[in-house]
Structure 1
Amino acid sequence: MFDNPADLIEKIRLGEDSYLELKEVRFAGNRVTAPHRHSLADELAAFANSRGGVCVLGVDDSREVLGIALDRLNAVEDLVREVCLSVITPPLAPVIERQRLPSSTGEMVAILKVDVPRSLFVHKSPGGYLHRVGSAKREMTPDYLARLFQQRSQVRIIRFDEQPIPGAVLDDLSLELWQRFASPRGKDRREVLLEKLAMARPDTDGAVRPTIAGVLMASPNPRRWLPNAFIQAVSYRGTEVRPWGDRVYQLDAQDITGPLDQQVLAACRFVNKNMRVEASKKEGRHDSPQFDLTAVFEALVNAVAHRDYSIHGAKIRLRLFADRLELYSPGAIPNTMTVDSLPYRQAARNEAITSLLAKCTVPEGDRPFSDRSAMMDKRGEGVQIILDNSERLSGQRPFYQLVDESELLLVIPAASLLGEEA
């Protein structure tokens, strides 16, 4: 917003409004005394809860450009970053830019421009749940707040994965990644096709923008908009998360990113690389792995397809131990399902994502992970495959567990191997 310096200067001359906040910066020694961190947090959160806006640090309420000393820019930027991460819930990730603007004497001085986009979430700051009304911030009334939660995530009048992402544009989606969902005979324009696939949707400003599903399936780096849309994979030595004698207790670790289908395949490769395999020469060579890779594939597909992407700060966690595999997926079980009913019932939290995964092909080189051509089977047989295949290999039944009503844990016991460490 106000990306051209001339536009920003003109906006400052006009004064504060729904999209602009001006803040003088003062110091006592090396400490920033103004703006106060709570006041700054309230202003930034109010922008995020509204339609976005820009806070300019180094300009006072009378619209005079005072500037910030060059040797103190780092301290001011540190304050903004700390406020966004520690004082606002969930945290904000604004664009912080250093610029030079002319002061009243014509001298070019440094200012800090903090660009806050309209957020996917509803943010709370020390002043409560605030929004921008003209040049002032106001606490939201209960009915307004309820409507905002409905619009942005929790109640899902519009499913969360079909919500447009503020600030994202269609060019942020990779041509190669979104074209794989197009029909060979289709002649739809990009915008029309992406809307049909729920990968794009008109925003409140009328612009067609990528949706959550769009960036998760067709962006090379979904974490740009959803920082926790990745799989954290760790392989441990032994059966507990603790140091193992004098040896390193983490054998391997990887943050797996990219489009969701690529995350699934990369996580399968991680398990394949780190699990142990026993070779038997009875009746010819026969390899016996610790885990059934088809079951692992199904578990990972379910995790990326059904996790709750609206929970800030939560990621999929894959933990590989000597005696088991643990897979944590953010979010409670959708609708009226229970842990016991998972093998028998279907309920999609993210219908756009599941539909797109069903259209994704499994590359020939990754077919050892699955004998079907598509990433997802809409018949709902995945959980039963996980349970049956794993039990057939290890002799122990995997189990699901709901943790704190906010995270679904799947535990797959490892098959015992001859000669393994105690």
Structure 2
Amino acid sequence: MSNITTTTEKVSRIAFTKVCMLKMSQLKNIVIQGESETVEFKKSTAQLSIAMHTVSAFLNSETGGILLIGVTDDKKILGQVVSDGTRREIAVELSKIEPQANISVEYIAVTNDRYVIALMVKAGIKAPYIYDGRAFIRSQSTTSKMSQEKYEQLLQGRRLTSVAWESLATNTCTSNDLDKKRIQQVVNMAVSERRLTDSATQARVNEVLKKFNLLVGDRLTNAAVILFCKNVEKQFIQSVVRLARFRGLNKTEFIDNKIMRGNLFDLFEGTLSFLESYLPVAGKIEEGNPLRIDTPAIPLKALREALINAFCHRDYTLHGGSIDIAIYDDRVEISNTGPLLPDIKLSELSKKHQSFTRNPLIASVLFTCRMIEQWGRGTLDMIELCKKSNNPSPKFEETAGGFSVLFPLREPLSRVSSTAASPIGLTSRQQEIMNLLKDHPLSRKQVSEKMKNPPGDRVLQKELLKLKTLMLIGTVGSGKSVQWLIKS
């Protein structure tokens, strides 16, 4: 291999190593060499949108590049007037690049009122980068659209390296933003399950985080933020669960929908609460047993396994990513962004297989507190739990850029409810409330007194409001005298 370094390579290296010190003499040296695989000229910001194609291409390359605005194709340095509007326009166009990239913008004075705008673009570590929905590549001095094959190749490479994302240090969140009580709960659970020693209960927060490998020096990792950050404003935008109860078998009409953003444990608990509020529970009394036996439409433990799998295996590098929970009349779907890792085949999920996770730090914390009982058992447990309760087996599907678990219901939700007034599946508690209200209005206190196993006041109020949202019940009166009744 030749040890000769070309002038263009030297100039590019100078530009990258001294980004904030680019002077007119260096600019002239770059321009003299002309356009190349790492250098592009544009006459003015009138060509800004096309120029962003080249920025995308530089990010998708192995070397990066320099975009100079204010230089013509025939190497004339003209510069241009730069106003606040010009700066805003550049910022807006750069914001259309996904995933986000750190691009340095420099303004080199040509005359008293004219500047060459230099965009210094380092090769990205999260290729493919798209601008306004499209990805581009650079070949010699030409920018062109990236082929679908190349795009998928780069996307697969990003997925393979996404495990590093959770290990990266964050600058936006500190230990003051973490939920200390939640961390202590996790430690206590781990000690009770003998996955941590008793001394861990006396450890300081930073010591616990270090034990879980959630610190880089004194800074939190991204995994620590996902797991424990209680400050929603500092939580990652992709730490989201989208929940919906649809009427029927498709997404044409929804009965309820919400978006939750927060740390993993809060999202986990909130999602289970949503599922429990919409999935009916059949109750029966067996001879010789005074306690009612409740059988949910889908085993809750199977839903837990699917949800934990989604949190462990989803691709957190995608800023628009999420976990999606969809309840239909005939099924429940739990989906996450990020397909199966290359080492796992869809056909292997229904039999014993090795465990591979995209986010080992997050998974390790969940294993330590026994939210994960055994490695590689999640999908098998879902199948066995459904079989044991006489439910159809769950189905596993890989979609474009994601993975889904589908739980078919034994009976459609619209047929499960025993309350004639209810057009959708209700929980046994909600059905009991409906039955109590069908004769005459009752206050919340009266409802509680008449229930067999009344919940706490806050839970009962939540159930009443849920039935009101479904337009099954209404209220009369106000304040402390309010009463609840079946809507006619």
TM score, norm. by length of structure 1:
0.61
Pairing 1:120–2:91 present? no
Match of 1:299 among 273, 282, 306: 306
Percent of aligned pairs with the same amino acid? 16
Q: Aligned partners of 1:342 and 1:224: how far apart in 2?
A: 38
Deviation string 1:262-318 (CA, Å, 9 cap, x unpaired) is: 322221122123334456688666655433322211110011112344678654322
Query: What corresponds to 2:47 in structure 1?
Result: 34
Would you say the 8 A contact 1:218–1:259 is kept in 2?
A: yes
Query: What corresponds to 1:4 in structure 2?
Result: none
Query: What corresponds to 1:390 in structure 2?
Result: 386
User: CA shift at 1:325, angstroms?
Assistant: 0.5
Match of 2:242 among 224, 227, 232: 232
Structure with higher RCO (Cα < 8 A, 6+ apart): 1
Would you say the 8 A contact 2:70–2:79 is kept in 1?
A: yes
Q: What is the SS of the residue equivalent to 1:349?
A: coil
Q: Aligned partners of 1:52 and 1:208: how far apart in 2?
A: 31
Q: Aligned partners of 1:116 and 1:223: how far apart in 2?
A: 29
Pairing 1:316–2:318 present? no
Query: What corresponds to 2:432 in structure 1?
Result: none
**In 2 relative to 1, CA 353–55 (structure 1 residues): closer, same or farther, beyond 3 Å?**
farther
Q: What is the SS of the residue equivalent to 2:257?
A: strand
User: CA shift at 1:14, angstroms?
Assistant: 7.3
Q: Aligned partners of 1:92 and 1:10: how far apart in 2?
A: 27
Deviation string 1:291-350 (CA, Å, 9 cap, x unpaired) is: 332221111001111234467865432211122111223312652554354453341223
Query: What corresponds to 2:464 in structure 1?
Result: none
Deviation string 1:87-110 (CA, Å, 9 cap, x unpaired) is: xxxx23357999999995489x9x
**In 2 relative to 1, CA 384–217 (structure 1 residues): closer, same or farther, beyond 3 Å?**
same
Amino acid at match of 1:270: F
Match of 1:352 among 361, 369, 392: 361
Q: What is the SS of the residue equivalent to 1:120?
A: coil
Would you say the 8 A contact 2:129–2:135 is kept in 1?
A: no
Q: What is the SS of the residue equivalent to 2:58?
A: helix
Pairing 1:270–2:237 present? no
Q: Aligned partners of 1:339 and 1:64: how far apart in 2?
A: 61
Amino acid at match of 1:169: T
Q: Aligned partners of 2:65 and 2:215: how far apart in 1?
A: 23
Q: Where in structure 2 are the equivalents of 1:209-248 lying within 5 Å?
A: 211=221, 213-219=223-229, 228-242=238-252
Structure number having the greater helix percentage: 2
Match of 2:347 among 331, 339, 344: 339
**In 2 relative to 1, CA 379–164 (structure 1 residues): closer, same or farther, beyond 3 Å?**
closer
Match of 1:376 among 372, 377, 390: 372
RMSD: 5.4
Q: What is the SS of the residue equivalent to 1:172?
A: coil
Query: What corresponds to 1:251 in structure 2?
Result: 255
Amino acid at match of 2:126: L
Q: Aligned partners of 1:254 and 1:51: how far apart in 2?
A: 43
Q: Aligned partners of 1:210 and 1:118: how far apart in 2?
A: 23
User: CA shift at 1:410, angstroms?
Assistant: 1.6
Tell which deviates more after alignment, 40-49 or 267-276: 40-49
**In 2 relative to 1, CA 269–343 (structure 1 residues): closer, same or farther, beyond 3 Å?**
farther
Amino acid at match of 2:371: M
Query: What corresponds to 2:335 in structure 1?
Result: 328
**In 2 relative to 1, CA 98–251 (structure 1 residues): closer, same or farther, beyond 3 Å?**
farther
Consecutive unaligned residues in structure 1, runs of 5 or more:
1-6, 27-32, 85-90, 140-144, 202-206, 243-248, 362-373
Match of 1:402 among 397, 400, 413: 397
Q: Aligned partners of 1:250 and 1:161: how far apart in 2?
A: 35
Deviation string 1:222-248 (CA, Å, 9 cap, x unpaired) is: 998975453322210122222xxxxxx
TM score, norm. by length of structure 2:
0.54
Q: Aligned partners of 1:20 and 1:218: how far apart in 2?
A: 44
Amino acid at match of 2:301: T
**In 2 relative to 1, CA 332–8 (structure 1 residues): closer, same or farther, beyond 3 Å?**
closer
Amino acid at match of 1:162: A
**In 2 relative to 1, CA 173–305 (structure 1 residues): closer, same or farther, beyond 3 Å?**
farther
Q: What is the SS of the residue equivalent to 1:339?
A: helix
Q: What is the SS of the residue equivalent to 1:345?
A: coil
User: CA shift at 1:355, angstroms?
Assistant: 0.6
Amino acid at match of 2:263: P
Query: What corresponds to 1:169 in structure 2?
Result: 170
What is the count of residue pairs matched by the alignment? 360
Amino acid at match of 1:236: F
Q: What is the SS of the residue equivalent to 1:272?
A: helix
Would you say the 8 A contact 2:392–2:409 is kept in 1?
A: no
User: CA shift at 1:398, angstroms?
Assistant: 2.5
Match of 2:409 among 378, 403, 414: 414
Q: Aligned partners of 1:42 and 1:164: how far apart in 2?
A: 30
Find the structure with the greater CA-based Rg: 2
Would you say the 8 A contact 1:216–1:259 is kept in 2?
A: yes
**In 2 relative to 1, CA 357–396 (structure 1 residues): closer, same or farther, beyond 3 Å?**
same
Deviation string 1:53-109 (CA, Å, 9 cap, x unpaired) is: 997978999998744445666655544444x2xxxxxx23357999999995489x9
Q: What is the SS of the residue equivalent to 2:406?
A: strand
Match of 2:158 among 137, 153, 160: 153
Q: Where in structure 2 are the equivalents of 1:51-130 lying within 5 Å?
A: 66-70=80-84, 76-82=90-96, 84=97, 91-94=98-101, 104-105=111-112, 118-123=124-129, 128-129=136-137
